[in-house]
Structure 1
């Protein structure tokens, strides 16, 4: 899973007390909007404050609900609102860009205390999976023919993985989780997925086994080696009794990955 960064939960009141003049009023105002339990600046009618409180909270909650629809369904309205309130109170965003707000929520979920004991154990992994879909939609990475020969021999050439194909592993079967299916414990074996964007701008996923997952890892980490060479390495790792049989199966696998646009072809000479 991509690395996330923890954020300290700063005390808004400490900042307010240290700030002079108008800045102090501004910080008291924003602290109150994040956490209505914090006292607002003196002299502002509560009716006016309520408009701002609801505007901020509802806009953030609605925007994040669109980015995490399955997580919202699993938590339900009340737990979702509690999560968003905690996010507003404790988290300090590192970007002002709305498309990145989902990444900020993911960073918050990675911090201690973000989740309550009654929250499902898969929340962080499900949020990550849903965030990957959004990130691929907005990704500016190119996966055009300039990167690879689409008709190259994937065994004897060097296969090229699409930059719009992300190889991921989860403890929970995140691609199946829904309001009607909420596992209480991880599966015995990890779930390996490739989530990718096609040339038709469609987001798709493919559930893969551990051997395919290992092949995709090697294709990225050792991007100078041929498909045949990498399959031979996997056969040695597995101590496969018939390496030639594995390589022949690997040919079909590589062709399938190219057909799905997870592989772009082979590296141009």
Structure 2
């Protein structure tokens, strides 16, 4: 490593951890170094505050600042884009060891809040054909790239200052998509519908009946006919909103790696 590269690395370490700056930057005037420390941290802090308003509201100011500081100091972000800071914060929380100050639903609530930002800003990489309601039963199906499927052990959609569950409850499943008017929509799902949508996402290009046949052994209490009758209106509704699309000729999943 060149001397310049080492100096740059030491400077970055001093910005990320003001309490333990490398000795190589000891000659810098503290007030000058502090300008960079505050500038970088406050930018990151601002994005986290804006992306996670509910989570932020649950924390005392000192504890929230400590959590943001730990992220800024300890987590190695790999994207240069400000828009990805929230996603990196969610990844950090999925590896983070909870303290007495942290709620047990910390990582799940953060993911739920991030999902709206992700779906609202993700860019499609493929042009897809609209899918008419009459074609949903026979067409090769796929999920739009502007879709996220999520499941949580805590009722994240209900959490607030007045409701903070301490233990997991019934699994909460969601379809989160951006509709044709660019609105982000959250739809609560039962586990059977989540299984169907997940199957479509993982195996695009198959018809609804093919997906039903694959899922039928997992849901023995319902016949394929019953499953189809329940699923078809939902698939038609989501096709009209742009969440279900006609699969491209070369079937492929979304190129975007999603946190689950």
Is 1:32 the counterpart of 2:14? The answer is yes
Cα distance in 2, alignment partners of residues 178 and 31 from structure 1: 36
Unaligned residue ranges in structure 1 (runs of 5+): 1-18
Cα distance in 2, alignment partners of residues 89 and 98 from structure 1: 17
Is 1:96 the counterpart of 2:80? The answer is yes
Equivalent residue for 1:140? Answer: 123
Q: TM (normalized to structure 1)?
A: 0.79
Is 1:190 the counterpart of 2:171? The answer is yes
Report SS of the residue matched to 1:38: coil
Equivalent residue for 1:157? Answer: 139
1:172 alignment partner, one of 142, 154, 162:
154
Contact 1:169-1:191 at 8 Å conserved across structures? yes
Equivalent residue for 1:210? Answer: 191
Contact 1:198-1:261 at 8 Å conserved across structures? yes
Structure number, greater radius of gyration: 1
Q: TM (normalized to structure 2)?
A: 0.82
Is 1:201 the counterpart of 2:185? The answer is no
Equivalent residue for 1:245? Answer: 226
Cα distance in 2, alignment partners of residues 28 and 162 from structure 1: 44
Count of residue pairs brought into register by the alignment: 248
Shift of 1:82: 0.4
Is 1:117 the counterpart of 2:100? The answer is yes
Shift of 1:180: 2.7
RMSD across aligned C-alpha pairs, in angstroms? Answer: 2.8
Cα distance in 2, alignment partners of residues 109 and 63 from structure 1: 15
Equivalent residue for 2:253? Answer: none
Unaligned residue ranges in structure 2 (runs of 5+): 250-260
Cα distance in 2, alignment partners of residues 210 and 87 from structure 1: 34
